[in-house]
Amino acid sequence: MATMGAAPLSSAAVALTPHRRRGWLSRFGEPPPIVAADLLDRIAAAGARPDSAGVRQAAQALGVLRAHRGHAVAGLVEDLTALRALLPQNPHTVTLVDAALTAAVAAYVDETTAILEARATRDPLTGLPNRATLAEALDHEIRAARRGTPPALLLIDLDGFKGVNDTDGHLAGDAVLVGVAQLLCAQVRGGDLACRLGGDEFAVLLPRTAQAAATKIARRIVTASRTDAALASRSARVRLSVGVGWLTSPSSADELVALADTAMYAVKATGGDDVHVAQPEQA
């Protein structure tokens, strides 16, 4: 019995020559990822009592890697099929590779689903939540305001952003947008929601926040933006126009957005780089 149990380890080690190992790992590019080498070595070294949990974890990591690289699931199946062809075709090895394939595909599917969900709710450049996420969160906060303090909304437009794109190029513009996102995340509170609406427009939802507190946060953002190196390209610099929308009893998200939008354009009309708090009759 002991001899039979040791056979898979011995035959696997003979079959997996350095040349074959390099050949399989070359499927993943140079240098090959650690997770692929880890899976290969774990399966090749499996004896009569293999580390099934370790093989499963390595396979899951490979599935996640393939999902992030945008490969089709068929490619992942081919990866594991090619691996099985390298090793002895005995029931022990076939079962182990098949289990690895099942784990890898399941992890691939889960990660792909998560990626697609993130793309639907997040801006791909800055990583901030997008307009759809803001709308959902704003509706929720307005409904909750009937039982407590209403939310405030900051709408933010970049002054001079076109000059960055036109003078230094779109890569410089993208870097500035990322810089604005990082600035907002650094200046708002933990429970606030900073979003990119598109183009050079951003927003911050401030749940359960009085008008005075919202205005203070808006001014803090503008002050920080004036010295933030990430908001400047080689030849130009952007400034922020921030409109504060706040109502004691907002009836809808559209009402609050319209108010903040009016305030933001009031800032831009006077040169930008400032904060304006709209009054309800202005909307």
Domain ranges of the chain: 2-121, 131-282
Q: What is the pLDDT of residue 281?
A: 59
Percent of the chain with pLDDT over 70: 92
Q: Is the pLDDT score of 282 beyond 60?
A: no
Q: Spot the catalytic one: 159, 192, 200, 261.
A: 200
Q: pLDDT grade, residue 153 (50/70/90)?
A: very high
Distance CA 68, CA 132 (A): 23
What is the average per-residue pLDDT within 114-129? 86
For the stretch 10-38, pLDDT in tens is 444 445 788 888 899 998 888 989 999 99
Long-range contacts of 15-23 (CB under 8 A, 24+ apart): 15/86, 15/87, 15/88, 16/40, 16/44, 16/86, 16/87, 20/86, 21/86
For the stretch 167-205, pLDDT in tens is 999 999 999 999 999 999 999 999 999 999 999 999 999
Q: Is the pLDDT score of 225 beyond 90?
A: yes
- CATH number for 131-282 (one of 3.40.190.80, 3.30.70.270, 3.40.1350.10, 3.30.70.20): it is 3.30.70.270
Q: Is 192 a catalytic residue?
A: no
| CA 158 from centre of chain | 23
pTM > 0.85: yes or no: no
φ and ψ at 153, to 5 degrees?
Answer: -130, 130
Q: What is the pLDDT of residue 205?
A: 97
> Cis peptide before 150, with omega less than 30 degrees from 0?
no
Percent of the chain with pLDDT over 90: 63
Q: What is the pLDDT of residue 117?
A: 76
